[in-house]
Structure 1
Amino acid sequence: MPDIITMGELLIDFIPYEKDCKLKDVDKFSKAAGGAPANVAAALGRIGCSTGFIGMIGKDSFGDFLLDTMAEQGVNIQQIIRTDEAMTTLAFVSLQADGERDFAFYRKPGADMLLKQDEIDLDYLKSADIFHFGTISLTDEPVRSTTKFLVQKAKENGSLITFDPNIRIALWDHELDKLKQEYLKVLPDVDLLKLNIEELRKLHPDQTSKLDDQINLENLKAVAKSIFAQGPKYIVITDGSNGSYFISENHAFHAKTEKIKALDTTGAGDAFMAGILSKLIAKDNLEDLNWESALKRANKFGAITCSRYGAIPALPDKDDLD
């Protein structure tokens, strides 16, 4: 069984050929496999880690493509469930000149929203060192309850629980309070929380109100202290070209990242997450991990992905390892 299991959305990203163009003006798209937890699993599989994915896709041609793609990346696909009750979820992406994105989701409902807990073989979870998830599987029932159920089961099995909110506010009817409510409900079960600076500001506005533009290790340590009280033991914060930070109650590190020309940031945060998780396998005490080295690897993974188009197609492979 896999050492690392991710769960959530597996979908099709339609990436535009045109850049710095509004979605309504895009003429041509290319199809790519995507979905944040799926990207993490694929990134781990590409570098040879034992990884599996739990999620639901449609019994359609897009679902066939996704299943084949995940298997090709070395991901265990045993718990990717198929349904004929909805089509595979689609996301159309528009790219700005700096590589940032805007999304339009076709998910009313999408297959990923329909996963039920009784469709999962719980024995699949038993040997996992790490269980990773995000917030998109918390938007709607029944997948919301399934996500919480699987987090609890993984925790009972002794897995490290890692969480990347990966905010897509459009999927929450543009209501940040709805997202924050579900985010805070799962936070007590999380061991390692990964956020980017913008997500940190949105999800913890009271704690970050004094940050302004003074983003440094000392200021972030003060913010992290209040988050520790809500459950997580370890926090990883990314800040784009300014690098990344690791903070626990006893340690704090900042790692710079190499300067690159960003073509497409789709999947960069997921590649970063995979870089971190690849260092955590079979670690009983995360305090003993060389976090500076882990951050540098994760930064490199994110930078490589930004320099290429798409999500899974842009992820690092074994040749990119340090």
Structure 2
Amino acid sequence: MTTVGTALDVITMGRIGVDIYPLQTGVPLAEVESFGKFLGGSPTNVAVAAARLGRAAAVISRTGDDPFGEYCHRALREFGVDDRWVTAVPEYPTPVTFCEIFPPDDFPLYFYRLPKAPDLVIHADELDLAAVRSARIFWMSGTGLCEEPSRSATLAALAARAEGGRAADQVATVFDLDWRPMFWKSGAWKGGARGDGSPEAARPVYRAALAHATVAVGNLDECEVATGVREPRACAEALLAAGVELAVVKQGPAGVLAVHRDGTVVEAQPHPVEVVNGLGAGDAFGGALCHGLLAGWDLHRLTRFANAAGALVAGRLACSSAMPHPHEVEELLGGGPADRGTDREGILP
């Protein structure tokens, strides 16, 4: 675990909770007889993935003051992720998420985040903005923009990253577009958007965040929310026009398109893998993307490595505990043991 005062490679901000996943595959939730409990929440999983790859990572989030909150802290520490900025909100329970597993591409999610998720009660005046600014990579998600006070806190963190120009040690400020329409149902934003669950309501807030980000990552649905267009190359160009330097468009079985402002374009096909649970693939991709950015890899190597990490987790049941180690990704890239006996395409959600 990173100690106080040590520079952090990655700080993520946003959702945390407990994933309750069936231990039976292809069974409706009503008929499942046994479950596994795992640390969850996309930004949290990205931090775990980065830590598995040897990076010093931390999470900014909040849990309930309850046993599931205690579990989240314990799990973070076991994964080597700094939990100093994960605090309790006594009035709200730690979120729980259930899923159904119907491989290769049907994984319905059921979020229990009412009356309000603690990770949406992050206040701007409670942030360690000096740490946010000094982190080599800061990773935030679209869900953090869906409701106050998290929305203002997330935008404040982004503004701190950009204040006075990019700090010398900053590598990237990443916006995971992470569109979850069910979270955008109430409240208003000063920019005029109301949270009615529509892309049009979210788009002005997304654009405000994109103005401070250097990297944007999302699938086609998420890119369309942010840009209003859907064709992959048009999405990438629109994200670049909105202010980022690198746009990464995930296209499921069609692979990944990455376009850099310098004109570099990479189109990477997914690695074949027998899909078990595709829900954690995008988070593994994110942690591996951070790893490659920190290593200074060229866009081709970066995209291939992130693709391989996502494919590995698509072939496993869990999310956080399934995040790969570096040697596993390298084995898959080299056609080694991790790539044997597979026959389906990994899908990055």
TM-score normalised by the chain length of structure 1: 0.88
Q: Are residues 1:57 and 2:63 paired?
A: yes
Please tell me whether the aligned partners of residues 9 and 37 of structure 1 are also in contact (alpha carbons under 8 angstroms): yes
Q: Are residues 1:149 and 2:156 paired?
A: yes
TM-score normalised by the chain length of structure 2: 0.82
Q: Are residues 1:191 and 2:204 paired?
A: no
What amino acid sits opposite 2:18 in the alignment? I
What SS does the aligned partner of 1:140 have?
coil
Once the two structures are overlaid, the 10-residue window that deviates more, 15-24 or 240-249, is 15-24
**Alpha-carbon deviation of 1:203?**
4.0
> Which whole-Å deviations, capped at 9, do the CAs of 1:123-179 have from their partners, x for residues lacking one?
322421111110111111111111111111122263321111122222224433333
> Among residues 282, 287, 291, which one is paired with 1:274 in the alignment?
287
**Alpha-carbon deviation of 1:241?**
3.0
**Alpha-carbon deviation of 1:202?**
4.5
> Among residues 236, 257, 269, which one is paired with 1:256 in the alignment?
269
> Among residues 43, 53, 76, which one is paired with 1:47 in the alignment?
53
Match of 1:129 in 2: 136
Match of 2:41 in 1: 35
Once the two structures are overlaid, the 10-residue window that deviates more, 235-244 or 297-306, is 235-244
Please tell me whether the aligned partners of residues 235 and 249 of structure 2 are also in contact (alpha carbons under 8 angstroms): no
Please tell me whether the aligned partners of residues 129 and 282 of structure 1 are also in contact (alpha carbons under 8 angstroms): no
Please tell me whether the aligned partners of residues 264 and 299 of structure 2 are also in contact (alpha carbons under 8 angstroms): no
Aligned residues: 306
Match of 1:169 in 2: 181
Structure 2 distance, partners of 1:263, 1:146, is 36
> Which whole-Å deviations, capped at 9, do the CAs of 1:64-84 have from their partners, x for residues lacking one?
111111111111111111221
> Which whole-Å deviations, capped at 9, do the CAs of 1:2-24 have from their partners, x for residues lacking one?
12111101111111233344444
Match of 2:147 in 1: 140
Q: Tell me how large the CA RMSD over aligned residues is.
A: 2.0
Task: Indicate how the Cα distance of structure 1 residues 240 and 82 shifts in structure 2: closer, same or farther if over 3 A, else same.
Answer: same
> Among residues 3, 9, 13, which one is paired with 2:19 in the alignment?
13
State the percentage of identical aligned residues.
Answer: 26
What are structure 2's unaligned runs of at least 5 residues? 1-6, 186-196, 331-349
The runs of at least 4 aligned residues of structure 1 exceeding 6 Å deviation read: none
Please tell me whether the aligned partners of residues 281 and 309 of structure 2 are also in contact (alpha carbons under 8 angstroms): yes
What are structure 1's unaligned runs of at least 5 residues? 212-219, 284-288
Structure 1 distance, partners of 2:124, 2:222, is 29
Q: Are residues 1:100 and 2:106 paired?
A: yes
Match of 1:214 in 2: none
Match of 1:83 in 2: 89
